[in-house]
Amino acid sequence: MTRLTPIQTEFVESVLNLKPLVATFDCDGTLWSPDAGEGFFSWELEQEQEKRLVSEQIVRWARSRYADYKAAQVAEEVMCGEMVTMHRGLREEVVQQAADAYFAQGIAPNIFPEMRQLVQRLRESGCDVWAVSSSNQWIIRSGMSFFGIPQNRILAAETAVENGVITDRLVRIPSGPGKVEAIRSAIQSPPDCAFGNAIWDREMLAMSKHPFAINPNANLKEIALANRWTVYQPNTNHQDR
């Protein structure tokens, strides 16, 4: 594991000193950079036809739909859900294997080392640590294998699976207010600490005792400063090892 700088160590210790019993973490942009959900989606569409998970028809639809999303014609939570349900009819183990391969190569080198160490030390202290993400369940499971967070502590964009086959019945989309709903359905009390980087994390941060804006987008940073939330900027120019 990468040796932390004094600033990184100070940040980790500042969180541990709060002695949180429950902590919730957004993933994309908070634990690593870039966005693993969008990255996996793009990677799937760019594969050669014989290696693709989904059909050419789904690929054409997904590209058009994503263009509409980027043009603000499709809501965030709708697009997040469709990035999951587009896999309907596929065996989950096949999609999971693809997500594992993509994450290990495309995202794992860009895990923020202080966030990885923070999660590890929180769990060692007995803190109940949860990953809460609007990215698909498979890529978040892949990511959490690097953090030691078990599957029963993951609240991601999820669809029902029957007999190992993915369906189009959504279980949850933890985005914006949906993150609060997912947390309340799974955890008895509001988190002591919450960590997020985007406007879609605002409600989760606001419900926690100690909100942390990590690597925040401009709109979240403005909100964080106005509310005197802690703002922390990881060093994004690194290779974890």
Contact between residue 210 and residue 170 where contact means Cβ atoms under 8 Å apart: no
Give whole-number Cα distances, 68 to 58, 61, 84, 134, 138, in Å: 15, 11, 17, 18, 24
Give dist(CA 213, CA 197) in Å, integer.
Answer: 5
Contact between residue 17 and residue 192 where contact means Cβ atoms under 8 Å apart: no
Q: Of 170, 126, 140, 102, whose CA–CA distance to 25 is shortest?
A: 140
Report the DSSP pairing between strands 165-172 and 154-162.
antiparallel
Q: What is the pTM of this model?
A: 0.94
Give dist(CA 208, CA 193) in Å, integer.
Answer: 6
Complete domains list, the chain, with CATH: 6-232 (3.40.50.1000)
Q: Which two tokens stand for residue 157?
A: 């964009």
pLDDT in tens, the chain (241 residues): 678 999 999 999 999 999 999 999 999 999 999 999 999 999 999 998 888 999 999 999 999 999 999 999 999 999 999 999 999 999 999 999 999 999 999 999 999 999 999 999 999 999 999 999 999 999 999 999 999 999 999 999 999 999 999 999 999 999 999 999 999 999 988 999 999 999 999 999 999 999 999 999 999 999 999 999 999 999 755 433 2
